[in-house]
């Protein structure tokens, strides 16, 4: 995928990249010209209630739709203070206070999402999460509106590092 823009919203930047590749499974071969490599794992849900999960399953679209040729790779790290909270305290900030799931739900199925977790890896990672979100080019303004809403929440005030990389598959 070709990089269209690479913006650092908080914390230190990473090296600029012209293209981003995504590989599933164990990474045995890193292209020698790679500016950086990030790893994450898909995990179980931690915060979602049963009724939220049912609503998500009913609305969400899979990654890889042919018309979803635009994407955002969003790299996030949360402050130690966030991780010191208990599970129920984090859930309260994420949803009851910040409405992360309710906000996101409004943008389904236009936006498809994949979230990878990096904190539980054996080696220390520079980010806690890798978010990959896919949409058709015409839905990018709506995607930007969603990001503005999410970034204004209490949850996002715990971010100490955020990099937003926009990608296109249209001319691969
Ligand atoms: C497309 C609309 C979106 C929906 C429907 C959505 C939904 C959700 C849900 C249900 C969870 C809770 C998962 C769990 O139970 O563990 C979650 C967590 C999360 N989402 Fe979203 N989300 C959306 C957009 C985004 C965007 C644009 C980002 C930016 C990268 C993002 C980043 C995250 C992160 C980092 C978490 C984990 C929070 C934590 O564990 O501290 N989400 N999202």
Mean residue pLDDT of the chain comes to 95
The token pair that represents 47 in the structure block:
């915060």
Neighbours of 28 (CB within 10 A): 6
The fraction of the chain above a pLDDT of 90, given in percent, is 89
Q: What residue's CA is closest to ligand 1, atom 23?
A: 104
The token pair that represents 131 in the structure block:
């978010």
Q: With a 6 A CB cut-off, is 55 part of the ligand 1 pocket? A: no
Q: With a 6 A CB cut-off, is 101 part of the ligand 1 pocket? A: yes
Domains and CATH numbers, the chain: 2-10+41-168 (3.30.70.3420)
Taking the alpha carbons at both ends of the chain, their separation in whole angstroms is 6
Using the predicted structure, report yes or no on whether residue 2 has a pLDDT greater than 90.
yes
Confidence of residue 172 (pLDDT cuts 50, 70, 90): low
Q: With a 6 A CB cut-off, is 118 part of the ligand 1 pocket? A: no
Cβ distance 151 to 76 under 8 Å?
Answer: no
Q: What is the pLDDT of residue 155?
A: 98
For residue range 29-79, what is the model confidence (pLDDT) as tens digits? 777 789 999 999 999 999 999 999 999 999 999 999 999 999 999 999 999
Using the predicted structure, report yes or no on whether residue 170 has a pLDDT greater than 90.
no
């Amino acid at each position: 995928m070709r990089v269209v823009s690479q913006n650092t919203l908080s914390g230190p930047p990473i090296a600029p990249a012209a293209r981003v590749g995504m590989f599933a499974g164990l990474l045995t071969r890193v292209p020698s010209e790679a500016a950086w490599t990030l790893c994450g794992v898909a995990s179980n849900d931690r915060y979602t209630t049963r009724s939220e999960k049912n609503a998500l399953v009913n609305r969400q679209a899979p990654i890889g739709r042919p018309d979803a040729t635009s994407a955002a790779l969003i790299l996030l790290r949360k402050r130690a203070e966030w991780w010191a909270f208990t599970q129920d305290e984090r859930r309260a900030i994420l949803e009851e206070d910040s409405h992360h799931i309710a906000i996101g739900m409004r943008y389904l199925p236009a936006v498809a999402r994949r979230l990878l977790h990096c904190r539980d890896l054996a080696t220390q990672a520079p980010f806690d999460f890798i978010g990959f979100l896919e949409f058709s080019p015409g839905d990018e303004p709506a995607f930007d509106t969603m990001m503005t809403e999410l970034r204004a929440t209490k949850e996002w005030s715990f971010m100490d590092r955020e990099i937003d990389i926009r990608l296109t598959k249209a001319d691969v």
